[in-house]
Amino acid sequence: MRSRTPLALAVPAVLGLAFLVLPLAGLLIRTPWSTLPQRLTEPGMLAALRLSLLTATLATLVCLALGVPLAWLLARSGLPGRRLFRALVTVPLVLPPVVGGVALLLVFGRRGLVGEWLDATFGVSLPFSTAGVVVAEAFVAMPFLVIAVEGALRGADARYEEAAATLGAGRWTVFRRVTLPLIGPGVAAGAVLCWARALGEFGATITFAGNFPGRTQTMPLAVYLALEQDLDAAIVLSMVLLVVSVAILAVLRDRWLGAG
């Protein structure tokens, strides 16, 4: 039998729920449903949507290529100072995105620690380019992937890997044929969260890559610009991002929120 919720807890709980739900309800109420199809097919909106999907996907691929090995290093290796490295990996989670953008400029800008060398050697300039958007999104999104994959690695049964090694499989074979299938759900969940975070990135992107339509203007940046020019367009773009967010939560509900 379920216990009755004390009134002292029920009232602030309801207020907290209302505080979180009412802004979303306001967005739904103010959405111009009658003109929604036309607005979704406007060239500027489609360009922002295409760029957002492209850069978020590329950023996720970068995070997978770098983040899975990093998660394995943190979870399975005997690397000294792993706690420090783990803390450094999670810094982008709490770092203000604008500060992250400034940091990226100082490293990858034309006069940055790495950017000056890239420009002089390869003629590559990352700031204020589409590639810069990918870099900014990967920087803020990678911790989500690393944390999810590291958790999956720690929860995986190591006996299967030990059995494969005993049968003569090399380390790379064990990782590819045994470890990756074991942590597959964790990698998938981390990749989805990483993609969603990249899709919604604003601060680091506008600081490092700017807000140039067709080149660096992703959907969050388009929302910011539309607020000053066309409120209905900003609402429509916000609705698209809201739908994506709800879809992500629906996909990951059993893993992160529980089925109940």
Instruction: Name the residue ranges covered by the structural domains of the chain.
Output: 39-218
- The span from the first CA to the last CA of the chain, in angstroms, equals 16
pLDDT at 260: 43
Q: Taken in order 149, 152, 154, 157, is the CA torsion positive or negative?
A: negative
Average pLDDT, 10 consecutive residues per value, the chain (260 residues): 68 90 89 84 86 95 95 83 88 92 94 90 92 96 94 82 78 81 88 91 94 92 88 88 82 54
pLDDT at 259: 43
What are the φ and ψ backbone dihedral angles of 172, each rounded to 5 degrees?
Answer: -65, -40
From residue 81, give the alpha-carbon distance in Å to each of 78, 84, 96, 146, 152: 9, 5, 25, 17, 21
pLDDT at 110: 87
Query: What radius of gyration, in Å, describes the C-alpha atoms of the chain?
Result: 22
One of 1.10.3720.10, 1.10.287.1770, 3.40.50.800, 1.20.200.10 is the CATH number of 39-218, namely 1.10.3720.10
pLDDT at 96: 92
Q: How many C-beta atoms surround the C-beta of residue 18 within 10 A? A: 11
pLDDT at 197: 92
Torsion of the alpha carbons at 28, 32, 35 and 36, rounded to the nearest 10: -30
Side chain identity at residue 256, one-letter code:
W
User: Strand, coil or helix: what is 156?
Assistant: coil
pLDDT at 254: 59
pLDDT at 257: 45
For residues 201-236, one letter each, b for 16 or more C-beta atoms within 10 angstroms of the residue's C-beta and e for the rest, the string is bbbbbbbbbbbeeeebbbbbbbbebbeeeeeebbbb
Give the count of alpha carbons within 13 A of 256, CB side only. Answer: 15
Side chain identity at residue 206, one-letter code:
I
pLDDT at 2: 58
